[in-house]
Amino acid sequence: MRNLGLAFLFTILLHQCFFRPHGGVEATGAGFIQTRGPHFVLNGDLFYANGFNAYWLMYVAADPTQRSKVSAAFREARSHDLTVARTWAFSDGGYRALQYAPGAYNQDMFQGLDFVVAEARRYGMKLILSFANNYDSFGGKKQYVNWARAQGGGGGLASDDDFFTHPLVRTYYKNHIRTVLNRQNTFTGIRYKDDPTIMAWELMNEPRCTSDSSGRTIQMAWFVKSIDRNHLLEAGLEGFYGPSTPQRMNVNPPVQVGTDFVANNRVSGIDFATVHSYPDQCAEFGKSWKDAGFSAYRRDQLFNAVYYKIYASAKRGGAAAGGLFWQLLTEGMDSFRDGYEVVLGQSSSTGDLIARQSHKLYQVRKIFGRMRNQERWRKARAARKGQWQSGSRNGRKGVGN
């Protein structure tokens, strides 16, 4: 990203057959999402991302008997006019791994991810797929480092942060990226790198490198773009400031995470920035039913506050391009509850807020679309008038001669 005026997606992690969507917002369409100035665009029109996180989609879809839950999640999301889902394209080592050893894949899990992409396509939704995890859940960078140690590449592997710098670990990571990008979907026949259902790739979920406070270590964008020029790319950052903006570092939580929000998002190949926020952790922003004092009203207040900021920015043509809440579940998924979940069938007031936000962003898109069409009409009219006047002058000269 050349500057922070490029499209800026708030990934709001709040620890809380095509058909006619209930608010009249059409499905997203078949084109690739691109950026134009500070905006996302789809088929030439502005695009705003109101959506959700659902890390579990591939994990659940790997069991064909459970795929109805994935379908239900997309169906309920579209009934609330949501347009984007963010999920994992990783599960490294351990139980039901996608990648159970470097370069070795469980095809049942991969077919689960294939199903997720195919269902998103069927329901007219876009996906953000993350390549790896900073944390130990689903393997994370620790698993990559452990694989390298087990292969005798332990020289120089002092900590999990060596994920970002050790040649063997980086090779494993790049091989995973290459495998995902070149994957041919067993349901659609489309390679992932050629599928416009995918809005963007994410380098890592919340990358951190505490051993390097400069934030320079986590720069890893170029490899994705060397294979896939169709899709957008984002780093997965939480939003913590670093040495490039020392005057802003006082707003960070009192921990050193080794990222630099501004510098890391200016790296060539990064197309938009993300912010993850929770109010009940550190200096972050969010509300869980597990916390004292929780109520649906207080959660709705939080959603309202976040959604208002996004809408206000969008309405004035600003850089906030959308928000994705954490996390969406559907009925019968009690074991996945983390306190922050939203089950749209059970959360009527929150669900109404979500649908209203979708509708408001759609109206903004329509307004800017009309303005763009009017500008095109004015330019075309001016061009036709210029051509007529030029032809008229030439005609008069011919008569005079």
Active centre residues (catalytic):
206, 284
* Helix, strand, coil share of the chain (percent; to 5): 40, 15, 45
**H helix and E strand count, the chain:** 9, 15
CA distances from 18 to 49, 84, 320, 361 (A): 19, 16, 28, 21
**Sign of the four-CA dihedral 147, 148, 154, 157:** negative
Between CA 122 and CA 72 the distance in angstroms is 12
Counted residue by residue, the chain has a size of: 401
Give CA angle at 343 (356, 207), nearest 5°: 90
Residue closest to 218 by CA, chosen among 227, 226, 210:
210
Residue 91 identity (one-letter amino acid): S
CA 165 to mean position of chain CA atoms? 25
